[in-house]
Structure 1
């Protein structure tokens, strides 16, 4: 591991070329997983001194209602399209959704989707939390998801991508095996933690629909073409060593009537291409860890 001023030591440096070969089931070249963010936003959340929850003064009815489209309409349209083409979701879950809109969680669970924690609410941030508060969120996430779905979460994506210096150590201590909070690679890799075993699961900001539509101002057609180009490159490079493509989605965006058709074209392209292991994030983590146990260098 490289050490020096400014290096947090979160993970060892490993250049992309020359790593031990990573293999996926069936000789597939790229593991593709879709991460629907099933979230709950509060209309008037408590203020965090480090970050505002809404751009407008509270209550931000427009922001809240726009995102509530996801649970009323967008999720159902997105899920139907994913199921039509054989894609199971790996859900980045605001666990409060289990109480506020249990119908969405029950539906995703019945489809065989996996759940991991995205915090309690997406309007409450980790910034400024002490260790007791952060442990409470992790324990709440594990307990609530287990009670609602029967699943034990394996992964973590911090609420609204907010962290403390202890987040990764704590989730590993509680037995979680992967984090989606490191956007530094196209393959899984080990993360340095005090105890337990934690790996980074490739998650994307570049092809996240939030970035596509809000940051890069893409049209649905542009976003679909971006996903296809992203997939084709990772599938080609996966012939040398298996790669991972994550498609992070928010159904209040991708589930809009004018966007869902372009998204279907992406799913059909991936299925028709034949090089993808279409799977879930936890299955990728399990497969990677099994290979790593046999080949210490991976």
Structure 2
């Protein structure tokens, strides 16, 4: 027998219970907007060109640091304008360091009524390499900052770099989290077992995601927009079989907030918004609320 994570069993797609999202929709769509801050002169970070994080050059890595901070200074504001124009909600995946670095940007999303989900302290670090006590402290620090600023603790979590230790689901449930976005292994929510009760894994995309698409695979802006449209249209077609699906779209303002990419993204999101009578456009928290209220046995992992 190969080692197993032990969080949930195998559940084939065919033969799952039939149920629907609000309004009878077979497809739920949410946008995950990553608001991230990075340390200057140290730590991890996505790279426009090979730099310190990949060992190709020394810190301070001004080129890549400035490229990433463009998202908070400019790109994220362009994205908000597009979301407002199309009347689209989003789930903000928030580094708690953003409260000090760009409080006005966080406030703008708060004013829109967007959901705030935890995304660690900063994407300059990974929680997966920490001893359990230190990982617990990281989660507690980020959660406390969000509860202080938002007036309520976040219910969902996406680890920086989607990095989990073997204890991460247990620590999240212990800290009061209800769902995680770390697992991309399904197109439906899945209940995970933890030491502190069930934790829902809501699908978060690693394909329809601008980092693996644009940074890793070097897809162009039009390719990424076409990917969104094709993924959406194919899921809408498949929804006729009665098995409800979740489609997430992962966005990082320093990537997608570049003007030429924003123009392509707007076309793709307008395509989805024009079909809101056939799908449920929501947040990750909305997905959790609906799925958690379904009769027992409706979603995998119970």
Fold shared by both chains (TM-score > 0.5): yes
1:183 shift after superposition: 0.8
1:150 shift after superposition: 1.9
Q: 1:231 aligns to what?
A: 232
TM-score normalized with structure 2 length: 0.92
Q: Residues 22, 228 of structure 1: CA spacing in aligned structure 2 closer, same or farther, 3 A cutoff? A: same
Alpha-carbon distance in structure 1 between the residues aligned to 2:85 and 2:259: 16
Q: Is the 8 A contact 1:180 1:200 kept in 2?
A: yes
1:50-89 correspondence to structure 2 within 5 Å: 54-55=53-54, 56-89=57-90
Q: Residues 207, 182 of structure 1: CA spacing in aligned structure 2 closer, same or farther, 3 A cutoff? A: same
Q: 2:150 matched to 1:153?
A: no
How many residue pairs get aligned? The number is: 289
Alpha-carbon distance in structure 2 between the residues aligned to 1:193 and 1:127: 17
1:276 to 279, 282, 285: 279
1:22 to 19, 25, 30: 19
1:151 shift after superposition: 3.1
Q: 1:173 aligns to what?
A: 174
Alpha-carbon distance in structure 2 between the residues aligned to 1:22 and 1:142: 33
Q: Residues 223, 264 of structure 1: CA spacing in aligned structure 2 closer, same or farther, 3 A cutoff? A: same
Q: Is the 8 A contact 1:94 1:118 kept in 2?
A: yes
Alpha-carbon distance in structure 2 between the residues aligned to 1:127 and 1:139: 15
Q: Is the 8 A contact 1:213 1:219 kept in 2?
A: yes
Alpha-carbon distance in structure 1 between the residues aligned to 2:191 and 2:246: 15
1:9 shift after superposition: 1.5
Q: Cα deviation per residue 1:175-220 (whole Å; 9 max; x = unaligned)? A: 1111111110111111121112201110001110111111221111
Q: 1:98 aligns to what?
A: 99
1:10 shift after superposition: 2.0
Alpha-carbon distance in structure 2 between the residues aligned to 1:53 and 1:114: 33
Give every structure 1 segment of 4 or more consecutive aligned residues whose post-TM-superposition deviation is greater than 4 Å: none
1:147 shift after superposition: 1.3
Q: Which secondary structure state, in structure 1, belongs to the residue aligned with residue 191 of structure 2?
A: strand
Q: Which secondary structure state, in structure 2, belongs to the residue aligned with residue 238 of structure 1?
A: helix
* RMSD after superposition: 1.5
1:250 shift after superposition: 0.5
Q: Is the 8 A contact 1:106 1:149 kept in 2?
A: no
Q: Which secondary structure state, in structure 2, belongs to the residue aligned with residue 54 of structure 1?
A: helix
Alpha-carbon distance in structure 1 between the residues aligned to 2:104 and 2:205: 28
Q: 2:261 matched to 1:264?
A: no
Extract unaligned runs of 5+ from structure 2. Answer: 45-50
1:121 shift after superposition: 0.7
Q: Which secondary structure state, in structure 2, belongs to the residue aligned with residue 8 of structure 1?
A: coil
Q: 2:42 matched to 1:42?
A: no
Q: Cα deviation per residue 1:140-170 (whole Å; 9 max; x = unaligned)? A: 1221011112232111111122221100111
Alpha-carbon distance in structure 1 between the residues aligned to 2:128 and 2:244: 35
Q: 2:290 aligns to what?
A: 287
Alpha-carbon distance in structure 2 between the residues aligned to 1:89 and 1:96: 20
TM-score normalized with structure 1 length: 0.93
1:53 shift after superposition: 7.0
Alpha-carbon distance in structure 1 between the residues aligned to 2:33 and 2:184: 17
